[in-house]
Amino acid sequence: MVHGKKLARETLLPSVLEDDDAETESERLQLGERRVSQTEVDVRGPKDQRSSPDGNMVDGGEREGKEEEKEEEEEKEEEELGGEECVVSDEDYDTDLELDKEEAYDPTGQTCYMEACETLQVVPASYFLRQMQSSELSLMHRGLGPQGTKALVVPLVTNTSILRLNLQDNWMEGMGGAAVAEMLKENCYITEVDLSDNNLGDYGARAIAGMLKENSTLVSLNLSGNHFTDQSAEHLGPALITNTKLQHLDLSHNALGERAGQNLGDSLSENTGLRSVSLAWNCIRGRGAVMLANGLGGNIFLRTVDLSFNGFGKEGAIALGQALKENTILEELNVSNNRIPPEGAIRLAMGLKANKTIKSLNMGRNPIQNAGCYGILKSVQENPNSAMEALDFSDITVNQDFEDLYVAVKEIFPVLTVNHGGRIGTFRKAKA
């Protein structure tokens, strides 16, 4: 029996009873109090743990309680920080209402133009304010001057409406021309610009040349009447080699001389963009005329060239004749008022015998006399592939031989028209 009781106790209470001696009632109570204390520690926290009679449990509870307090404090700090972050982000966030309070974006550019006028102390151009959203802006003869031009280009930098800009005769001088050039470096919408008669000078030419090296949208540029000299051509020449987008260039009514002819001749031989160029009313002569003519011979893109009112003379005409033999693209050539003698006209005519593209040739007001006119017309007759449609011999008188030849040529080329200064002896016979 004793052995059976012992076996039962060991089976029922293996973790508590390690020997034959039973636990006393006080030990059971202490064990119960420990369990209750542990439960209270877990639920109530560190303050209740300190009331536990077991020192070890108090230490462990304190550690656990401190960790819980630390976690609670961290959570509170995160909540506080989170609230602060929300407040900051709300203040920094740009809303539509805040944008309305600030200065609104002005797509027309009127605001910045008025501010620029106030800064530069110039009177705003009312016509410009009305036409800022048009595709074409024409401000000719307005007397803008350098300062007015500077104010004008401020809104044009970001303007997307204006495609054609005409600022002819505003006396903007070099500083104003430089301001326009800087604007055209940024504006990628304007395709046609007229800066004629503005006294840009060599300073303005240099600025325009720098613009042409960067601008890729400008198609037509008029720089007529700006007092450009040979020094201007030194800047413009390299720019014409770099730029491949510009198709129409007007450099007429300037002071481009012999050196300019050489520089521009080299540039035109390499240029791949120009379709028409005007160098009328300059001082290109001698060696410059020959170099310019040679450049035209090497160009395979130009369709129209105006060289009127220069000084090509005999040597320049000979070089042009050679260029016409080589060039297979040029359609219109104006060499009127170039002091070309009859010998020069006959040598130029030799190039027309081989040319297949020239449609219009203006030789008016040159001292080529009847012999020069006859030689040119004869070269057209002897070229079965000639495309000639118009010959201009304005203010040059011809004789009956020329008239007879013209009748014969008309049978071969019925579309050909010839303009001359009249037939010799016509008035005398009419009077008789």
Q: How far apart are CA 135 and CA 149, in angstroms?
A: 19
Count other C-beta atoms under 10 Å from residue 314's C-beta: 16
> Does the pLDDT at position 108 exceed 80?
no
Among 371, 377, 419, CA closest to 399: 371
Output the pTM of the full model: 0.75
Amino acid letter, 55: G
Sign of torsion over alpha carbons 33, 39, 41, 44: negative
* Residue 418 pLDDT: 97
Q: For the chain, which residues make up each domain, given as ranges?
A: 1-93, 110-431
> Does the pLDDT at position 84 exceed 90?
no
pLDDT in tens, 21-49: 444 444 444 544 444 444 444 434 444 44
Provide the edge-to-edge strand list for the sheet that holds 192-194.
Answer: 136-138, 164-166, 192-194, 220-222, 248-250, 276-278, 304-306, 332-334, 360-362, 390-393, 417-420
* Residue 162 pLDDT: 96
Q: How far apart are CA 278 and CA 281, in angstroms?
A: 9
User: Measuring CA to CA, how many Å separate 159 from each of 179, 180, 212, 256, 384?
Assistant: 15, 13, 19, 34, 53
Tell me the pLDDT band of 400, cut-offs 50, 70 and 90.
Answer: very high
User: Quick one: DSSP state of residue 103?
Assistant: P
* Residue 105 pLDDT: 65
Q: Work out the percent of the chain whose per-residue pLDDT is above 90.
A: 72
Tell me the pLDDT band of 69, cut-offs 50, 70 and 90.
Answer: low
Q: What is the mean pLDDT of residues 184-200?
A: 97
Q: Which homologous superfamily is 110-431 in?
A: Ribonuclease Inhibitor (3.80.10.10)
Q: How far apart are CA 187 and CA 19, in angstroms?
A: 103
* Residue 27 pLDDT: 46
In this structure, are residues 256 and 228 in contact, taking their beta carbons and an 8 Å threshold?
A: yes
Region for 344 from its dihedrals, namely left if φ exceeds 0, alpha if ψ lies in -120 to 50, beta otherwise: alpha
pLDDT in tens, 296-345: 999 999 999 999 999 999 999 999 999 999 999 999 999 999 999 999 99
DSSP letters for 359-381: -EEE-TTSTTHHHHHHHHHHHHH
Q: Across the chain, what does the average pLDDT equal? A: 83
> Does the pLDDT at position 209 exceed 70?
yes
Q: How far apart are CA 239 and CA 216, in angstroms?
A: 12
* Residue 47 pLDDT: 42
Q: How far apart are CA 165 and CA 181, in angstroms?
A: 13
> Does the pLDDT at position 86 exceed 80?
no
